[in-house]
Structure 1
Amino acid sequence: MQRILVIDDDTDICLLLRRFLSKNGYEVAIAQSGQTGLSLLEEFSPDLVMTDFRLGDLDGGQILRKIKERFPDVPVLIITGYSDIKIAIDVMKQGAFDYITKPLFPDEILLTIKKALGGEKPDGSSQTTVERETTTAKTPNKVSRAKPDSNYIFGSGPESKNLYRQIDLVAPTNYSVIIYGESGSGKESVAQEIHKRSKRANGPFIAMDCGAISKELAASEMFGHEKGSFTGALNQKIGHFEMANGGTLFLDEVANLPYDVQVALLRVVQERKLRRIGGNKEISVDVRILVASNERLMESCRKGKFREDLYHRFNEFSLDVPPLRDRKADIMDFAQFFLETTNAELGKDIKGFDEDVKAAFLSYPWYGNLREMRNVVKRSTLLSDSEYIESKSLPFEIINYSRLLFSEPTQPVVNEDIVPKQEEPAKPNLKSAALDAEYEMILQVLKQVNYNKSKAAQVLSIDRKTLYNKMKSYNL
């Protein structure tokens, strides 16, 4: 059995990789610091090392040099975010075999590992089992109880049932689908569900975040590249299209793709053939394409940001994922799901939410959708010391949303340190007038954006910290 050493200071990633790789026939050891990982080299004698580039004590380059000094033949894979890819390429020049970008995709991990280990199956078998850490089977009449490390949940309200009907209709076909929805509303969850209900369910599901990839690397990530095709291309790389062959490719925030990549993508969509960057061989691919966007692609076409011919290729079917504020019947089911997963993470046994919290959740507009709710529940679970989450554990803007929304102060309440008290009768005061105008402007903008402070700061052209300071001064 081949051995893999995983070095990452993120506990969740370490545990996830150990579980996933063990299920695929590897013996795995984990270390949560560079020094710990290096100390395991002699004892564990790994056949391959996977290390995060950014660790608390050492970086990927330092770990690589120390490994190569003692075990020059052990391949090293660098785990990195998109923002660090240029650095990772430099580390590859120093001897790293390849890099894997976050978020981690099971198929890409296995392909890269098998390539680094000489193309052999980990346990000598003829087929490798790729088991995704995703949800259990979901039914439209209840919230699915997924595994604690799953990010995907589905509701049971009328809006959710309507969404399910559309998924049931299009999933068995081979149509391309455009999935519209706000950020954090669960567009990838819908894409996963379409894939799971399709004839391609046994094939790979590969997700690509088009908004997180630089213009220079977008084509390489999508189509792959040959060794030596550009500076830093020291090894052949398989792109997302090839990894998704026989399955489904999900392109999230597709409107962010560079225009020249859209041209190449149109050709692949039409002909189902691609060429890696720097390659001459045409490679046939059988891929179903699902795309997602938080803005209407036709509008992007009118603005010249997106090719209209590509839009029509994708628009064989489209559906909308409703925002959380429009799924009132699902809100507490979703909250309970996030509570259960957080209980498992933190080793707690909180049973639910008290009535004040339920009322606050149902009245709050959730502009960050499921992603915002998950973070709120995680924070509240961590802070809670009782059987039920109470309002004292919630962020201020959530528990006070209704009061802030409907309160209509007639006079600005300002800090006495800013506006000194004036003797009656009041005299004209330019500074006071300016502060009053500023107060009214801030209050008006806050109401317009439903007290979303990030959006308010953008509208006012100030940073969030400045807005907080001003709100504190005005007792808002």
Structure 2
Amino acid sequence: MQTILIIDDDRDICLLLKRFLTRHNYDVAEAYSGKKALEYLEENEPALVMCDFRLEDMDGNTLLAKIKERYYHLPVIIMTGYSDIKIAVEVMKMGAFDYITKPLFPDEILVTIKKALEAPAQEREPVRQERPAGINVPKQGTATVASETKEKAPNITVSGEYIFGDSTVFKQLLQQIDLVAPTNYTVIIHGESGSGKEAIAQEIHKRSKRKNKPFVAIDCGALSKELAGSELFGHEKGSFTGALNQKTGSFEMANGGTIFLDEIANLSYDIQVSLLRVVQERKMRRVGGLKDIELDVRIIIASNERLWDAVRKGKFREDLYHRFNEFSIDIPPLRQRPDDVLLFANFFLQQTNQELGKNVKRLSPEVENIFRNYVWYGNLRELKNVIKRATLLTDGEEIEPTALPFEISNFNKLQFDKGPQIETVTSSYLPSTPAAPAAAMEEEEPQRSLSETTLKGASIDAEYEMILKALKKVNFNKSKAAKLLNIDRKTLYNKMKQYQEFNNQ
């Protein structure tokens, strides 16, 4: 009979685990402190150790190090509460086999113990397979795309419907996903538009105990104030004008599984009040209904702005925020992980080849350099669309700069910020050097030969300066810049293209 050492200063936990594991044919030893555990290990070698992270006389890091000094390949499972999750990741790096979160679930305990005892000794150091999370890719042809991608970008991993990069920040993000997925915690995902928030939510669902239940995604920004209640909670027949039939809402459809509410801050105050009851009591009532419906649903929400900032601005209820805020995940923008850019670009290239039936093999060195230096404002979504466009326009084997959009191929000429390592989402993408006074800039600005020789050139230069000022004012958001200039987005692109062509003459 295999022996399991339980280390926990909560005697009730030790007693419950001992009774449970004994019924499943394990011999159990108990230690109520780190010191007692080390004394036991001096004379005994159990098959496995289950250790609480917080002990009165010793922290998990110290105790794990001492256990590994004596029995290097002894599997250690960390028992941790929510507040210790981030620390648990570090402990696992030190050699813990796995973790289980409190409150403890019998099935999870048995599965984790069985995995630890059956794993070969050399596999007992790494805790979890690490892959950074990424974005959705089509189901059709996924296996073919994955095999082709490995030749071009060996650090990309494709799992089911997802593509994963290889940056350190995304590996850390995946560790957080692994930690929170088995729980029922409500998760807040913060990330810029196009960074893959829904993909992260789906990955959490896929790794949870609800993975075989529905996953329902709702874009709250697309819900009108009048119909949001009906979409989320459903309605009864005749409850309002146009309600010709009974409607099942998104929460009811997700019952037993996971609901993902994207851009949650866009919900109206009235809907936030209704949502508060759902989160607190796990009950809901259809619009016009009289009967409460019990809900067993995990809630994951996302926002491209900090919800706490929305609370301070009065856009989001503080009490609802605190009920949601059990665990949060921040998705770093693409500009903060430049190592991932070419990995994703190569994958999107192979994917687009398959969609279009083309055989564009690579990015030219010039394009690779442009991609490394460009600040990807639209994140993965922008990169994917750029690759799709460039692949369509390319007839040869390499994508050249001429196939790229104007603002990307002329990034440096337009004086966009070259530094992709921007630390915060809210920081502006302006050059890091202090701005000189306007008069000094006019004196020092290099003369443009074209604008000196022709009136048309001077006119184009003047338009360019106005466009550039507008772009800088709105952090290079082209839609906002066009609105500021009182032109449409297409006209803005045409003006920028005209400037490029005129300077190339």
Superposition TM-score tier, normalisation by shorter sequence: 0.5 to 0.7
SS in 2 for 1:173: coil
Cα pair distance change 1:157/1:436, threshold 3 Å: closer
Summarize deviations over 1:190-216 as a string: whole Å, max 9, x none: 101111111111111110000011111
SS in 2 for 1:250: strand
Deviation at 1:323, TM superposition (A): 0.7
CA distance in 1 between partners of 2:416 and 2:241 (Å): 59
Scaled by the length of structure 2, the TM-score of the pair is 0.59
Q: Match of 1:144? A: 157
Q: Match of 1:410? A: 446
CA distance in 1 between partners of 2:391 and 2:159 (Å): 19
Q: Match of 1:215? A: 225
Establish whether residue 281 from structure 1 lines up as the match of residue 317 from structure 2.
no
Larger radius of gyration: 2
**What does residue range 23-422 of structure 1 map to in structure 2 within 5 Å?**
133=139, 142-145=155-158, 150=161, 152-405=162-415, 409-411=445-447, 414=451, 418=455
Deviation at 1:159, TM superposition (A): 1.4
Deviation at 1:396, TM superposition (A): 2.1
Deviation at 1:351, TM superposition (A): 2.0
Aligned Cα root-mean-square deviation (Å): 3.0
The letter for the 2-side match of 1:327 is R
The letter for the 2-side match of 1:323 is P
**What does residue range 438-449 of structure 1 map to in structure 2 within 5 Å?**
440-447=465-472
Establish whether residue 456 from structure 1 lines up as the match of residue 466 from structure 2.
no
Cα pair distance change 1:191/1:469, threshold 3 Å: closer
Summarize deviations over 1:278-307 as a string: whole Å, max 9, x none: 111111010110000001111111111111
The letter for the 2-side match of 1:410 is P
Q: Match of 1:107? A: none
The letter for the 1-side match of 2:272 is Q
For structure 1, list consecutive stretches of 5 or more residues without a partner in the other structure: 1-131, 422-431
Contact 2:461 2:499 (8 Å CA) reproduced: no
Contact 1:200 1:246 (8 Å CA) reproduced: yes
Scaled by the length of structure 1, the TM-score of the pair is 0.63
Deviation at 1:406, TM superposition (A): 7.4
Cα pair distance change 1:354/1:216, threshold 3 Å: same
Contact 2:283 2:292 (8 Å CA) reproduced: yes
Cα pair distance change 1:340/1:436, threshold 3 Å: closer
For structure 2, list consecutive stretches of 5 or more residues without a partner in the other structure: 1-137, 147-153, 418-443
CA distance in 2 between partners of 1:420 and 1:341 (Å): 42
Deviation at 1:165, TM superposition (A): 1.4
The letter for the 2-side match of 1:401 is F
**Aligned length, in residue pairs:** 327
Contact 1:145 1:337 (8 Å CA) reproduced: no
Deviation at 1:180, TM superposition (A): 0.4
CA distance in 2 between partners of 1:363 and 1:265 (Å): 43
Sequence identity (%): 64
Cα pair distance change 1:383/1:259, threshold 3 Å: same
Contact 1:415 1:473 (8 Å CA) reproduced: no
SS in 1 for 2:368: helix
Deviation at 1:444, TM superposition (A): 3.6
Summarize deviations over 1:125-154 as a string: whole Å, max 9, x none: xxxxxxx95988x9xx9433367xx5x422
Cα pair distance change 1:420/1:379, threshold 3 Å: closer
The letter for the 2-side match of 1:359 is N
CA distance in 2 between partners of 1:436 and 1:356 (Å): 26
SS in 2 for 1:402: coil
Q: Match of 2:438? A: none
Cα pair distance change 1:436/1:357, threshold 3 Å: closer
Cα pair distance change 1:203/1:318, threshold 3 Å: same
CA distance in 2 between partners of 1:334 and 1:469 (Å): 29
Cα pair distance change 1:382/1:467, threshold 3 Å: closer
CA distance in 1 between partners of 2:309 and 2:259 (Å): 23
The letter for the 1-side match of 2:199 is S
SS in 1 for 2:354: helix
Contact 1:259 1:306 (8 Å CA) reproduced: yes
CA distance in 2 between partners of 1:352 and 1:439 (Å): 33
Contact 2:189 2:301 (8 Å CA) reproduced: yes
Cα pair distance change 1:277/1:396, threshold 3 Å: same
The letter for the 2-side match of 1:143 is I
Q: Match of 1:128? A: none
Q: Match of 1:120? A: none
Cα pair distance change 1:168/1:219, threshold 3 Å: same
Contact 2:256 2:295 (8 Å CA) reproduced: yes
Contact 2:187 2:324 (8 Å CA) reproduced: yes
Cα pair distance change 1:170/1:355, threshold 3 Å: same
Higher deviation after alignment, 239-248 or 391-400: 391-400
Deviation at 1:401, TM superposition (A): 1.1
